[in-house]
Chain A
Amino acid sequence: MFRLEGIDKTYGGSGKKALDSLDLEVRDGEIFGFLGPNGAGKTTAIRILTGVLRPDAGKVTIDGIELARAPMPAKARLGSVPDNPELWNRLKAREYLDFMGDVYRVPTRERRERIATLADRFALAEVLGSSIGSLSRGMKQKLCVIGSLLHEPANWILDEPMVGLDPQASFDLKALMRQRALAGGSVFFSTHVLEVAERLCDRIAVIAAGRLLFAGSIGELRSLREATPREGSLPDPASARGGAESRDRDSLESLFLDLVEKDAP
C-alpha cells in the first residue's frame, strides 16, 4: 500500500507545475491504473513515488514508511519497471538480473528459482546469456519486468508496461499483475491503453496538467458523469446512433475523454 499526499513538483527553470497537490492512495490487493493525456504528469508522479525525483511539497508513504525519512527501506518495498527499457544495452541479460538481485539482496537460491520461473513464463530463458543490446524492445521490457520482481516486492509500479509487448507477453503480464494483487500486493501502472485499464483495474486515477481529476472505480466514474452531465459537450457519436452502440458511451474511453475535455482550459 502506498500514498501520495499533496505532491507538488515544478521542474527547475520551467515555472510550470508538473504536479499540483496530487493526492493518491493505492491499497493492498488492488490493481490501480494511472491514466492521463501526454504530458499530464504520470511519469513525474511515478518518479516521485519511486524516489527518483524529490517533490517540492507533500509526502510519499510506502507501507507506512515515509520515503523522504527512510528512503532505503521504503524503496526496498517497491519493484519498478521504467518507461524506457533501453538503459542497460551493454550488459548481458543475466548480468542485469544478477545486479538487480544483488541490489535487492536476494539470496542465491531464491534468485535462481525466481529467474527460472519468470524467464520461463516470459519465454526469456534462452536469451539469458545474450547482450541486452541484441534483444528486441519487447524482450528488454520483459527483462525489466523480471528484474523488478526478483525481490518479491509488496508494491509493483509499472510505467507504460504494455508498450512493445507481443499479445502473449501482454496477456502473461496482465495475469501476473492480477496474481500479485490476489496475493495481497498492490499493483500500480500507467497506461494509454484504456481497454486494458478498463478490463484490468480495480480502481483508476485520471490526471491532467498535473492535477488529479478523478480517483475511484470505473463504476464511480460513470455515476459521476451521470450526476454532472456536461453542458455543450460534443455529441457522442455512439449515443447519437442509439441502440446497442449506446453502451460505448459508458466505455472508459468515452468517460476519459469527457473528463479530460471538461477540464481543458
Chain B
Amino acid sequence: MGAFAALVRMELRSTFGWKPLDEYRNYKDWLRLGGLVLLALLVVADIGFLFVASAVSQYQALKGRGLQGLLVLNGATSASVALFVLGFLAILSGFSLSPAEAQLFSLPLGDRTRLAARFVVVYVSQAAIGLFIFGASLAVYGISEAPPLAFWLIGLVVALALPLPPLALAWTLAVLLLSAGRFMRSKNAILLLSGVIGVGFALAFNLALQQSMARLGDPAWILAHYAGPGTALNLAGSAWPPSYLAWKALEAAASGRSLEGFALAIALFAGGLAFSALAVPVLAGPWKRAVLAFGETRPRLLGKGDASAYIGRHFRRRGVFAALLLREWRLLVREPMFLLNGPFIIVIMPLILAVMYLAQRSNLAQLQAILAGSEGGRYGFLAAAGFGAFLGSSTSVGSTALSRDARALGAMLALPVGVFRIMGAKLVHALIWALAGSLMGSVSLGLFAGLGPGSIAGAAVVALSFSALANLAGLWIDTARPRLAWDNPMAALKQNPNSVLLIFGSVALLALIAWPVTAFAIDPGLFVAIFALASIVLFAAGLAAYKGFAIIKMRNIEPH
C-alpha cells in the first residue's frame, strides 16, 4: 500500500472509528453496528422525508410551467451551499495539534500528501451528505420524468462531483482564516465560530424548511419565493458553474441525449477534481503552518510584586462540598465540547421553536388556541410541563457526570473525601441545570400557550420533579456503566450511550405519564400535587439506594 493510501486509510479509521468487517468479533460488535445502521436509517428516513416532500412540491409547481428541470438546478445549488457550510465546519473541527498529529508531521510525508489525505476524509463524509440532499431532487425528477437508465448513472457522477468545488472553497477559507491570526488557532475560538455558524445555519435551514412545509400546497408561492426563475436560489444556481453543469447534464440525460449528459457530467467531475488538485498544493504550506501553530498558548503573567497581593485577594477557604460543586461547574462550562453538546439544549430548543413559530405563525395560531382554550388549558399545562421536563432531563449533565470526569477520577479518589460527597456534588450540579431547563421550558411554552402565572408555576414544579428524578437516574446509569476511556471530550458526552438512553427514556416516560392525565381528565392542580409528592418520595428513596450503590461501585472502579 502506498503512503497516500495508508494515510487515507488511517485518517478514515481514526475519524470515523471505522473498522473492517473481519474485525467484528463478538455479538456486541455486531449489535453496535446494527444499532448504528438502524439509527442512520431512521435519521435518513426522517430528514429524507422533508427533502423529498419539498422536492415533490417544487416539481409540481415547476411542472405547471414546464420548468421542472429547474428542480435539478435548485437541488444542486442547495447541496452546494450546504456542503460549503457543513464542509467548512468539518474542516474547522479537524484542526488541532494532537500528539498524533504532531508525530505525522515528523514522518517523511509531504505536506501536499497530508492535506490531500485530509481532503479525502472530509470529502467522504460530505459526499454522503451531498448525495442525500441532491439525491432527493434527483430521485423526484427521475421518477417523475421516467428518463433512460443512463440518467441515473449520470446523476451518480454528478452527485459525486458536486461536493468537490464547495469543499475546495471551504478549505481555502478555513486555511486563510487560521492563517490570519493567533486568535483563531485555538480550540475554543474554533468551537465558538463553529457554534455560531452551526446554530445560524441550523436555524436558517429550519426557517426555510418550516416556511416551505407550510406552503406545500401553494404552487404559486413556491414558484415566486424559491423554486421559480428569478428567485435567489435559481439565480445563484445559474451563476455557480457546477450547479449549472449538473442541471444541463441531467436535463440532457432526461431528454435522451445521454452522450451529451455524460460529457457534461464528466466535465463537471474533471473540473471539480482540477479545482481541488489546484487548491491542495497552494494551501498545503499555509495549512501546515496553521496546524503547527495551533493551540499555542502563553500563561498570563502577574506583574512583578503582584503575586503576594494576588494570593491575599484570591485564596480563601470554603466548604468541601462547595469546592466540589464549584469544580464540577467550572469543568463543564469551560469545556465548550461539554457545554455545546450538553446544557446548550436549554437554549437551542426554545430558539428552534421560536423559529418555527415565526415561520408557521398562521398554522401554529390554531394549535395555540387549542392549548390555551381546551379543557380549561389542560393541554397547554401539559405541554408546558412536558417541554420543561424534556429540557430539564436532556442536558446530559447527570448521565455523563462520571464519564466526563474519567481522566481526573484517580486524583479525585485519592482525596480524603467520601465517594457520596463527590457524587452528591455531581448530582446537585446536574440539578442546577435541570432547574434551568425546567424553568426555560415551562415558562416559554406556558407563555406560548397563554397560561397564567399559577399554571406556569405548576408546570415548572412538575417539570422540575421529573427532571430531578431523570438526572438521578442518569447519574445512576453513568455510575453503573461509565465511559472511562476517551480521547475526545465529545466521546464522554455526545457519543455516550448513557446520555442517549436517558434522553430517549425520558421522552418515552413523559408520553406514558401524559396519557392518564388526558385520558382521565385529571385536574392540573391535583396532578401537580400528586406528581410532586410522588417525585419527592421516589427521589428520596432513589437517593438512599444510590448512596450504597455508588460506594460499592466506586470501591471497585479501576480508573485509567
User: Which A residues form the contact surface with B (CB < 8 A)?
Assistant: 11-12, 47, 50-54, 71-76, 78, 80, 82, 86-88, 90-91, 94-95, 97-99, 101-108, 111-112, 115-116, 119-120, 125-131, 133-135, 139
Task: Check B307 against A128 for contact (C-beta < 8 Å).
Answer: yes
Instruction: Look across to chain A and name the residue whose beta carbon is closest to the beta carbon of B322.
Output: A102
Besides A11-B558, A72-B418, A87-B408, 11 new A-B residue pairs in contact (Cβ under 8 A), listed by A number: A72-B416, A74-B416, A75-B416, A82-B410, A86-B407, A91-B334, A98-B314, A103-B415, A107-B317, A127-B299, A134-B299
Instruction: Give 23 pairs: A residue, B residue, CB < 8 Å, sorted on A.
Output: A47-B410, A47-B559, A54-B556, A73-B416, A78-B414, A82-B411, A82-B414, A90-B330, A90-B334, A91-B327, A97-B315, A98-B316, A98-B318, A101-B317, A102-B317, A102-B319, A115-B315, A126-B301, A126-B302, A128-B310, A130-B299, A134-B298, A134-B300
Task: Check A104 against B315 for contact (C-beta < 8 Å).
Answer: no
B208 to chain A, nearest CB (A): 37
Across-interface contacts of A72 in B (CB, < 8 A): 416-418
Partner of B301, one of A91, A111, A112, A130: A130
**Interface residue B2 (Cβ < 8 Å from any Cβ of A):** no
**Interface residue B101 (Cβ < 8 Å from any Cβ of A):** no
Task: Check A127 against B302 for contact (C-beta < 8 Å).
Answer: yes
Instruction: Look across to chain A and name the residue whose beta carbon is closest to the beta carbon of B303.
Output: A126
B514 to chain A, nearest CB (A): 39
Task: Check B302 against A103 for contact (C-beta < 8 Å).
Answer: no
Q: Given A82-B410, A87-B407 in contact, is the A52-B315 Cβ separation under 8 Å?
A: no
Across-interface contacts of A115 in B (CB, < 8 A): 311, 315
Contact residues of B between 267 and 308, Cβ < 8 Å to A: 297-302, 304, 307-308
Interface size grouping (class) on chain B: 35 or more
Q: Given A51-B414, A76-B416, A125-B307 in contact, is the A108-B315 Cβ separation under 8 Å?
A: yes
Q: What is the bound-complex CA distance between A144 and B169, given in angstroms?
A: 46
* Contact flags B369-406 to A (C-beta < 8 A → 1, else 0): 00000000000000000000000000000000000000
Task: Check B297 against A105 for contact (C-beta < 8 Å).
Answer: no
Task: Check A111 against B302 for contact (C-beta < 8 Å).
Answer: no
Partner of B308, one of A52, A94, A116: A116
Q: What is the bound-complex CA distance between A139 and B314, given in angstroms?
A: 20
Q: What is the bound-complex CA distance between A97 and B323, given in angstroms?
A: 11
Q: What is the bound-complex CA distance between A13 and B447, given in angstroms?
A: 55
Across-interface contacts of A126 in B (CB, < 8 A): 299, 301-302, 304, 307
Q: What is the bound-complex CA distance between A75 and B413, given in angstroms?
A: 10
Shortest Cβ-Cβ A-B pairs, 7 listed: A102-B323, A130-B299, A125-B307, A75-B416, A134-B297, A76-B416, A50-B414
**Interface residue B29 (Cβ < 8 Å from any Cβ of A):** no
Q: Which of A86, A97, A98, A135 has the most CB of B within 10 A?
A: A98
Q: What is the bound-complex CA distance between A95 and B328, given in angstroms?
A: 12
Task: Check A94 against B414 for contact (C-beta < 8 Å).
Answer: no
Task: Check B317 against A95 for contact (C-beta < 8 Å).
Answer: no
Task: Check A116 against B415 for contact (C-beta < 8 Å).
Answer: no
Across-interface contacts of A78 in B (CB, < 8 A): 414
Q: Given A47-B410, A82-B411, A87-B411 in contact, is the A94-B320 Cβ separation under 8 Å?
A: no
B550 to chain A, nearest CB (A): 15
Contact residues of B between 523 and 560, Cβ < 8 Å to A: 555-556, 558-559
Across-interface contacts of B327 in A (CB, < 8 A): 91, 99
Instruction: Look across to chain B and name the residue whose beta carbon is closest to the beta carbon of A76.
Output: B416
**Interface residue B312 (Cβ < 8 Å from any Cβ of A):** yes
Instruction: Look across to chain B and name the residue whose beta carbon is closest to the beta carbon of A157.
Output: B414
A150 to chain B, nearest CB (A): 10
Task: Check A108 against B414 for contact (C-beta < 8 Å).
Answer: no
Across-interface contacts of A82 in B (CB, < 8 A): 410-411, 414
Q: What is the bound-complex CA distance between A112 and B317, given in angstroms?
A: 10
Task: Check B298 against A88 for contact (C-beta < 8 Å).
Answer: no
Task: Check B297 against A52 for contact (C-beta < 8 Å).
Answer: no
Q: Given A90-B330, A103-B417, A111-B317 in contact, is the A135-B408 Cβ separation under 8 Å?
A: no
* Contact flags B87-127 to A (C-beta < 8 A → 1, else 0): 00000000000000000000000000000000000000000
Across-interface contacts of B335 in A (CB, < 8 A): 90
Contact residues of B between 324 and 344, Cβ < 8 Å to A: 324, 326-327, 330-331, 334-335
Partner of A94, one of B299, B315, B555: B315
A115 to chain B, nearest CB (A): 6
Partner of A129, one of B310, B410, B411: B310
Q: What is the bound-complex CA distance between A135 and B317, given in angstroms?
A: 25
Across-interface contacts of A75 in B (CB, < 8 A): 414-416
B182 to chain A, nearest CB (A): 13
Instruction: Look across to chain B and name the residue whose beta carbon is closest to the beta carbon of A104.
Output: B416
Q: What is the bound-complex CA distance between A50 and B407, given in angstroms?
A: 16
Q: What is the bound-complex CA distance between A89 and B134, given in angstroms?
A: 43
Task: Check A52 against B317 for contact (C-beta < 8 Å).
Answer: no
Across-interface contacts of B559 in A (CB, < 8 A): 47, 52-53
Across-interface contacts of B312 in A (CB, < 8 A): 112
Task: Check B310 against A102 for contact (C-beta < 8 Å).
Answer: no
Q: Given A72-B417, A90-B334, A134-B297 in contact, is the A106-B317 Cβ separation under 8 Å?
A: yes
Partner of A125, one of B302, B331, B417: B302
Q: Given A90-B334, A97-B315, A127-B302 in contact, is the A105-B414 Cβ separation under 8 Å?
A: no
A65 to chain B, nearest CB (A): 11
Q: Given A52-B413, A52-B559 in contact, is the A129-B302 Cβ separation under 8 Å?
A: yes
Across-interface contacts of A47 in B (CB, < 8 A): 410, 414, 559
Instruction: Look across to chain B and name the residue whose beta carbon is closest to the beta carbon of A134.
Output: B297
